[in-house]
Amino acid sequence: MTEMVYGAIPLRDGEPVIPKWWRTVDKLTLACILGLFGIGLLLGFAASPPLAERNGEAPFHYVWKQATFGGAALMVMISASMMRPEMVRRMATIGFALAFVALAALPVFGTDFGKGAVRWYSLGFGSLQPSEFIKPCFVVVAAWMMAAAQEINGPPGKLYSFIIMCTIVIMLVLQPDFGQASLVLFGWGVVYFVAGAPMLILVSVAALVVLGGTLAYEHSDHFARRIDGFLAQDVDPTTQLGFAANAIREGGFFGVGVGEGRVKMSLPDAHTDFIIAVAAEEYGLVLVAIIIALYATVVLRSFTRLMRERDPFIRLAGTGLAAMFGVQAMINMGVAVRLLPAKGMTLPFVSYGGSSLIAGGVALGMLLAFTRTRPQNQIADLLAGRGR
The pLDDT tens digits of the residues spanning 259-300 come to 777 777 777 777 788 888 888 998 999 999 999 999 999 999
pLDDT (average), residues 171-175:
90
Residues 280 and 248: beta-carbon distance below 8 Å: yes
State what percent of residues in the chain have pLDDT above 90.
Answer: 49
Which whole-number Å values give the CA distances from 355 to 72, 122, 236, 281, 385, in the listed order? 11, 12, 31, 26, 48
pLDDT computed for residue 237 by the predictor: 63
- pLDDT tier at 257 (50, 70, 90 boundaries)? confident
- pLDDT tier at 387 (50, 70, 90 boundaries)? very low
**In terms of pLDDT, which residue wins out, 127 or 328?**
328
Mean pLDDT over the full length of the chain: 86
Find, among 264, 377, 354, the residue nearest to 73 by Cα.
354
- pLDDT tier at 230 (50, 70, 90 boundaries)? confident
Residues 6+ apart with CB under 8 A from 195: 143, 146, 147, 149, 150, 158, 312, 316
- pLDDT tier at 238 (50, 70, 90 boundaries)? low
Q: Is 5 inside a domain boundary? A: no
pLDDT (average), residues 198-222:
81
Q: Is 299 inside a domain boundary? A: yes
pLDDT computed for residue 236 by the predictor: 63
pLDDT computed for residue 388 by the predictor: 41
Nearest-angstrom CA–CA distance, 294 and 372: 19
pLDDT computed for residue 14 by the predictor: 65
Q: Is 131 inside a domain boundary? A: yes
Q: Is 175 inside a domain boundary? A: yes
The residues with which 121 forms a beta bridge, in sequence order, are 128
Nearest-angstrom CA–CA distance, 289 and 4: 44
**In terms of pLDDT, which residue wins out, 191 or 233?**
191
Max Cα-Cα span within the chain: 75
pLDDT (average), residues 241-251:
81
- pLDDT tier at 7 (50, 70, 90 boundaries)? very low
Classify residue 7 by its DSSP letter: T
State what percent of residues in the chain have pLDDT above 70.
Answer: 91
Q: Is 3 inside a domain boundary? A: no
pLDDT computed for residue 13 by the predictor: 56
Write down the pTM of the prediction: 0.89
Find, among 5, 7, 1, 2, the residue nearest to 375 by Cα.
7
Domain containing residue 359 = 15-387
- pLDDT tier at 251 (50, 70, 90 boundaries)? confident
Q: Is 4 inside a domain boundary? A: no
Classified as helix, coil or strand, 127 is: strand
Residues 171 and 187: beta-carbon distance below 8 Å: no
Q: Where are the alpha helices (DSSP H) in the chain?
A: 2-6, 17-24, 27-54, 61-81, 85-104, 106-109, 130-149, 157-173, 178-194, 199-219, 221-231, 240-251, 263-266, 275-306, 312-336, 354-370, 379-387
- pLDDT tier at 376 (50, 70, 90 boundaries)? low
**In terms of pLDDT, which residue wins out, 75 or 210?**
75
pLDDT (average), residues 105-129:
85
Q: Please classify residue 206 by burial: count the beta carbons closer than 10 Å to its beta carbon, then call 0-12 exposed, 13-18 middle and 19+ buried.
A: exposed
- pLDDT tier at 333 (50, 70, 90 boundaries)? very high
Phi-psi category of 349—alpha, beta or left, where left has phi over 0 and alpha has psi -120 to 50?
left
pLDDT (average), residues 205-222:
81
> Distance from CA of residue 55 to its chain's centroid?
29
Report the number of distinct structural domains present in the chain: 1
pLDDT (average), residues 93-110:
95
Q: Is 9 inside a domain boundary? A: no
Q: Is 368 inside a domain boundary? A: yes
Which whole-number Å values give the CA distances from 293 to 70, 282, 285, 303, in the listed order? 21, 19, 12, 15
Nearest-angstrom CA–CA distance, 354 and 347: 13
pLDDT exceeds cutoff 50 at 38? yes
